[in-house]
Amino acid sequence: MTSDEHDHDSSSAEPLEPIRWRVPRLVQEKDKLAEQLSIVQSKLRAKDEVIRVQAAIETGRSVCLKGALDLAYRWRGGPAGCGRYFPPTRPRQGIHIAIDTLQIAFGVSGGVETYMTSLVSALQATDAYQITLLCSEDQLEPLRLTFGAEIGYFEFRATRSMKLAIKAASLLRHGKATASSGKPVVSFSKLYEQAGIQILHSPVQLFSSLDFGVPSVLNLHDLQHLHFPENFTPSDINARNQLYGLSTSLADAVIASSDFVRDDIVRRMGASPSKVFTVPVTWNPAVQRGAEVFTVDEARARYGLPTIYAIYPAQFWVHKNHARLVEALKITRDQVAGIDFKLVFTGYRGHSGWPIVQTALEKFRMAEHVLCLDYVPVEHMAALYKGAVFCVMPSTFEASSYAVIEAQLLGCPAMCSNVTSLPELMRGDAGLLFDPMSPDDIAEKMIGWLKAPEERAACAERATLKVREEHSVAKYIGNLTRIYEYVAAKR
In the chain, where are the structural domains located?
77-282+480-488, 285-471
What is the amino acid identity at position 444?
Answer: E
User: DSSP alpha helices (H): ranges in 270-363?
Assistant: 285-293, 296-303, 322-335, 354-363
Q: What is the pLDDT of residues 353-387, one digit of tens each?
A: 999 999 999 999 999 999 999 999 999 999 999 99
CB 462 within 8 A of CB 429: yes
Q: What is the mean pLDDT of residues 434-443?
A: 98
CB 293 within 8 A of CB 379: yes
Of the two residues 54 and 204, the one the predictor is more confident about is 204
The CATH fold assigned to 77-282+480-488 is: Rossmann fold (3.40.50)
User: DSSP alpha helices (H): ranges in 156-233?
Assistant: 160-172, 191-195, 224-227
User: DSSP alpha helices (H): ranges in 306-351?
Assistant: 322-335
Least confident of 20-34, 321-335, 398-412: 20-34
Of the two residues 264 and 10, the one the predictor is more confident about is 264
Residue 179 has pLDDT above 80, yes or no: no
Residue 176 has pLDDT above 60, yes or no: no
Band (pLDDT 50/70/90 cuts) for residue 61 is: very low
Tell me the three state secondary structure of residue 457. Answer: helix
Q: Of the segments 122-126, 169-173, 406-410, which one has the largest average pLDDT value?
A: 406-410
Residue 139 has pLDDT above 80, yes or no: yes
CATH 3.40.50.2000 fits 285-471, yes or no: yes
Q: What is the pLDDT of residues 461-474, one digit of tens each?
A: 999 999 999 999 99
User: What is the side-by-side order of every strand in the sheet holding 370-372?
Assistant: 370-372, 341-346, 308-313, 390-393, 414-417, 432-434
CB 419 within 8 A of CB 430: no
Residue 201 has pLDDT above 80, yes or no: yes
pTM: 0.76
Element housing 346 (H / E): strand 341-346
Average pLDDT value over all residues in the chain: 84
Q: Do domains 77-282+480-488 and 285-471 have the same CATH topology?
A: yes
Q: List Cβ<8 Å contacts ≥24 apart for 163-166.
A: 164/69, 164/72, 165/65, 165/69, 165/70, 165/72, 165/73, 166/73
Least confident of 160-164, 244-248, 318-322: 160-164
Q: What is the mean pLDDT of residues 410-423?
A: 97
